[in-house]
Structure 1
């Protein structure tokens, strides 16, 4: 594990759990997520199966709602059927944004070559073209504010935020402005989503939850 971005100090990941729930003094790094034990600090099974690293802190995701699950599957399937050969959608795979930030977007569109590597546990930002976050009650602040900021800073060109309105999905579509390095809202989509970037996409949003 790295003590900071410029110096390398190796720590045993298991020893970091002695400080749980606080982070270890040297902080978590993106590489640590590949070495976490299968059980939690108190022997909980699959404790670290759904964690993200945000600014050096481990974030445990809440249990997934059925609405969330259906959108993940539906969006992935729609994107897969429309993506050009050089791109591929994946769901619940980590993206390494930096030494201390490794979120796990609900859906991402990445280079097909990277998606074909079955040994991968995360993707580099240069391989990612679109990230999609589906907002849940516990993730509102992260999905609306923190994650878009980090994704834009890392150079990912497209970001979608999906919210629920009366049981139906609403998609907020953003594109990164290379001059400012931040996202600008390009559209709010109800019922039918149609965009031309990162490729031509048309999705019946209401059908995803019927």
Structure 2
């Protein structure tokens, strides 16, 4: 027997607020209607996931990948950071960086992309997101048909990128490489990045 989703309570009611989930959990549309949600809140399996304060490594890695990918992406693609994607009714995650088809960008007021428009999802791992980025999100991204997934981790201050590609026969991701100093791939488009640039900028003496 399925459980129907209760609508978001009316403003002014005691139940109005994101800290009181409805029976059956939140739905993807609720992220646009709930009041006073913390920035970068995600929806995973009907539950709201709040983001902890990010490390300097995380911020640098996201900025680096956003700008570097934007500089080499074909003109019919868009690179966007920290933007939610619709997977299904109970899952609306927010990858750190996404590459989407240009026709998915409608106007400045939109708040999400459909998963079918995403070519690449990138997650920069934080201590609190480790299991989600290694286990939960890759499964959901692959099932949604996102062909490419990169996971970026901090190994003693240096970025390591784990690259995955969706295998058509199984619909699951398979590892296509682990990159420590230089990330060089040909899909979803040619990329050649010096990962050392994610580290701190040191002034010469």
Tell me the secondary structure at the aligned position of residue 170 of structure 1: strand
> What CA distance in whole angstroms lies between the structure 1 residues aligned with 2:163 and 2:135?
14
Give 1:80 deviation, angstroms. Answer: 0.4
- Does 1:180 pair with 2:170? yes
> What CA distance in whole angstroms lies between the structure 2 residues aligned with 1:63 and 1:128?
26
Give 1:9 deviation, angstroms. Answer: 5.4
- Could you give the per-residue CA deviations for residues 43-101 of structure 1, whole angstroms, max 9, x where no partner exists? xxxx4222100000001111011110011111000000000011111000001110000
Aligned position for 2:9 = 12
Aligned position for 1:42 = none
Contact kept in structure 1, 2:8 and 2:30, CA below 8 Å: no
Tell me the secondary structure at the aligned position of residue 118 of structure 1: coil
> What CA distance in whole angstroms lies between the structure 2 residues aligned with 1:174 and 1:90?
19
Alpha carbons of 1:97 and 1:20: their partners in 2 closer, same or farther (altered >3 Å)?
Answer: closer
Contact kept in structure 2, 1:132 and 1:160, CA below 8 Å: yes
Give 1:187 deviation, angstroms. Answer: 0.2
Number of equivalences: 198
- Specify every segment of 5 or more residues in structure 2 that has no aligned partner in the other structure, as ranges: 201-205
- Specify every segment of 5 or more residues in structure 1 that has no aligned partner in the other structure, as ranges: 39-46
- Could you give the per-residue CA deviations for residues 3-27 of structure 1, whole angstroms, max 9, x where no partner exists? 85xx675442756956864632132
Match of 1:56 among 46, 55, 79: 46
Compute the RMSD of aligned alpha carbons: 2.0
> What CA distance in whole angstroms lies between the structure 1 residues aligned with 2:38 and 2:10?
12
> What CA distance in whole angstroms lies between the structure 2 residues aligned with 1:82 and 1:116?
22
Aligned position for 1:37 = 35
Aligned position for 1:41 = none
Contact kept in structure 1, 2:5 and 2:24, CA below 8 Å: no
Aligned position for 2:94 = 104
Alpha carbons of 1:60 and 1:201: their partners in 2 closer, same or farther (altered >3 Å)?
Answer: same
Alpha carbons of 1:154 and 1:12: their partners in 2 closer, same or farther (altered >3 Å)?
Answer: same
Aligned position for 1:23 = 21
List structure 1 runs of 4+ shifted beyond 3 angstroms.
Answer: 7-11, 13-22
Aligned position for 1:44 = none
Match of 2:151 among 153, 156, 161: 161
> What CA distance in whole angstroms lies between the structure 2 residues aligned with 1:167 and 1:197?
27
Alpha carbons of 1:126 and 1:20: their partners in 2 closer, same or farther (altered >3 Å)?
Answer: closer
